């Protein structure tokens, strides 16, 4: 019986490993495709649809991915300033930021996120918003793969095109229309910073209610020369 259970456990572990590796390989193929095309749907969008169905609530997806020249230059800059100041310096994982978070917690500070834009992109594309060690474990190889396959500019453009900016609102174009009644290409510096200020909690925050943090993001942008 013990030998049988051991063989069964080994087969289960092998099956799980095979499934994980197969899924990672599929994600890598999709990342390669996203060098020239936009994602038709993301796992976070599917997650929200499933959640709405389980809750018995309505769900409408606003998602209009657009070309780089259809997004104000201020928006990716604001997002970098708000979410990942060392975006152009790391290779997918900002280990320095992770150490800073760890040291801050050790000193009694509060836990905060240390994820890069690349990590957040692959989470939106292929994973879910649920916190787990499995998700974090999958983020690491996917983030490195994304950095190998895509340029930095493509990474941040994909991110602003798929990230959640309100209930059922995904990407720069839908966010600009939803929050400001205008196209993403016309976003001002302050409007872009206001959208970036929503990203830690996009389903509850609005640019109009984030004036203080918007100002902080604008100052960070100025420090970057933007």
Distance CA 20, CA 25 (A): 9
Confidence of residue 111 (pLDDT cuts 50, 70, 90): very low
Distance CA 57, CA 63 (A): 19
pLDDT at 109: 55
Rg (CA), the chain: 19
- pLDDT tens readout for residues 162-191: 999 999 999 999 999 999 999 999 999 999
- pLDDT tens readout for residues 132-163: 888 989 999 999 999 999 999 999 999 999 99
Residue 22, Ramachandran bin (φ over 0: left; ψ between -120 and 50: alpha; else beta) = alpha
Phi, psi of 168 (to 5 degrees): 75, 10
Question: Beta-carbon neighbour count of residue 56 at 10 Å?
Answer: 6
Burial 149-185 (b: 16+ CB within 10 A, else e): bbeeeebbbbbbbbbbbbebbbbbbbbbebbbeebbb
DSSP string, 124-157: HHHS-S---HHHHHHHHHHHHHHHHHS-HHHHHH
Question: Beta-carbon neighbour count of residue 127 at 10 Å?
Answer: 21
Beta-ladder partners of 170:
63, 164
Tracing tokens 């872009």 back to the chain, one arrives at 192
| Residue 66 structural domain | 2-223
Q: Does residue 98 register a pLDDT over 70?
A: yes
- 117-126 and 74-83 helices, crossing angle to 10°: 100
Confidence of residue 112 (pLDDT cuts 50, 70, 90): low
- pLDDT tens readout for residues 45-61: 999 999 999 999 999 99
Check which CATH number belongs to the domain holding 55 and give it. Answer: 1.10.3810.10
Q: Does residue 226 register a pLDDT over 60?
A: yes
Give mean pLDDT, residues 98-102: 77
Counting the structural domains of the chain, the total is 1
């Amino acid at each position: 019986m013990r030998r049988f259970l051991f063989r069964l456990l080994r087969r289960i572990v092998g099956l799980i490993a095979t499934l994980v590796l197969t899924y990672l390989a599929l994600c890598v193929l999709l990342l390669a495709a996203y060098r020239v095309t936009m994602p038709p749907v993301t796992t976070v969008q599917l997650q929200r649809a499933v959640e709405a169905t389980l809750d018995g609530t309505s769900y409408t997806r606003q998602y209009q991915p657009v070309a780089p020249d259809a997004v104000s230059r201020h928006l990716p800059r604001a997002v970098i300033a708000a979410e990942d100041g060392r975006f152009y310096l790391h290779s997918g994982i900002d280990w320095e930021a992770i150490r800073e978070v760890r040291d801050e917690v050790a000193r009694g500070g509060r836990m905060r996120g240390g994820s890069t834009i690349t990590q957040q992109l692959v989470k939106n594309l292929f994973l879910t918003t649920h916190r787990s060690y499995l998700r974090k474990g999958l983020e690491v190889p996917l983030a490195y793969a994304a950095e190998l396959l895509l340029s930095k500019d493509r990474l941040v453009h994909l991110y602003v095109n798929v990230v959640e900016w309100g209930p059922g609102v995904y990407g720069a174009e839908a966010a600009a229309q939803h929050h400001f009644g205008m196209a993403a290409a016309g976003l001002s510096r302050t409007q872009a910073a206001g959208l970036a200020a929503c990203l830690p909690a996009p389903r509850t925050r609005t640019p109009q209610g984030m004036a203080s943090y918007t100002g902080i993001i604008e100052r960070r942008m100025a420090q970057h020369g933007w």
